[in-house]
A and B are shown apart, each in its own frame.
Chain A
């Protein structure tokens, strides 16, 4: 437990147990999907290209 936290080690322990028991596989704790990651990269690139388009038009 971080010594600067106002919370206690038992608070943290309780919370980690709660996460492990009730939130394993919960959508809020899902990793970012490969599809979203790819799409995000492509959208960022697309908007960057749009910027270059503004430049040449």
Chain B
């Protein structure tokens, strides 16, 4: 998920990696494998990047939403378990290969899904996931601004009022404007957003320490649980696994800028895990204390009319720049994945086209907020088996070796062309894993098999994705010598 602050640094990284960083030539260097001198981050730098990614308003929202299902102690446990598992396999799938080869993450996916297969996933799973996140962030802006208006000038705008939609649309328009200026502008705004959000987190922590006792927190009831306690806990874990996995769309493209495999692996896990847990736990404690899962509701009671309004406006602005960053990384991926189709469309128009669906969704603020958990878990249903297939491909079948030149070759000239540009094993694995997920837990209808209470869904579906990929790839390609799965020496010769 994706997925707010994390995109922020994706754009920041784009600033530094792109030789020509204006709106039209974004990503000019992005597609080439980076050289040693272009890898700018050591372990300490990358830890900082990941911490600033994870401290974001979405983490408050996740903390608040977890409080809907479980109390404080169970919530902490669910967050630790869910993020540890989700981040664990997401990082192995996204960070390692991109770091080693210095290649943008949707390019390094070509051996797993094929050029056309990557396009299919980018235009479905990734695009819908990011559109959902950006509309949610925009609606959060609408809610924050209407809260300020209600407090400052005595208006009475509800959380689902048309004014929420209006300000969400304004947020989308401003995001588009920032984005159309290119990644340099995004980077400039982002320089003070992450530190500001750290201050907001500390502010919430101080307020909670001053106003809530430990005992009150531990005994606070969840806000809107189901009847079955085991199901509530499993849902909370599953939700947090989904959140961990939702970092997938940007992590590889950031990790390629690190200097060694260790500088990519440990900082991404440690930085994301620790910062996410702190922000989410603070968010959950705030939700349990005030009895509302919406972060925009907490600030006025916590900070009073002036400080609270200031924080809300800051959160609104943070969400706008986050939305720009989400769209930046996604539109770059879309452009690369589209072949000739979108290569001549102007950057600003492409970004505008991205915002069409989020703008429509902004007319349903209540729906987006209440279905937030559904949306995160549903995107996890597809991202998790994707990760499983990638891990099986890169670590098991290819032994961490791909032929760099073949990543960029046309059609039949590339070892990764497969059948018409589609690695059937990759897409088959995602389909099988997603079906498995939806059978044991359907986030739309909220129906779950009894086994879901014990094993949840994302991690098992990642395993299903990995196994299906391994079997199909061996049957369809490895035995026939297709797909560049050959012996190490052969792959290295091609590279």
Contact = CB atoms under 8 A, between A and B. Distances in A.
Contact of B408 (A2, A22, A40): A2
B63 to A, nearest CB: 15
B223 interface: no
Interface stretch (B94-102, B120-128, B169-177, B356-364): B94-102
A40 B81 CA distance: 15
A4 B259 CA distance: 27
A55 to B, nearest CB: 4
B428 interface: no
Contact of B32 (A12, A27, A44, A50): A12
Interface string B68-107: 0000011011111110110110011000100011100001
Contacts of B400: 31-32
Contact of A52 (B35, B36, B77, B401): B77
B191 interface: no
Interface residues of B, number: 56
A5 B395 CA distance: 28
Contact of B81 (A12, A19, A52): A52
Contacts of A36: 261-262, 265
Contact of B29 (A4, A7, A54): A7
A48 interface: yes
B84 A47 contact: yes
Interface in A13-56: 15-16, 18-20, 22-23, 26-33, 36-37, 40-41, 43-44, 47-48, 50-52, 54-55
A18 B32 CA distance: 12
A42 B279 CA distance: 25
Contacts of A44: 84-85, 87-88, 269
Contact of B31 (A5, A43, A51): A5
B408 A1 contact: yes
Contact of A30 (B25, B82, B100, B107): B100
A43 B265 CA distance: 12
A51 B76 CA distance: 8
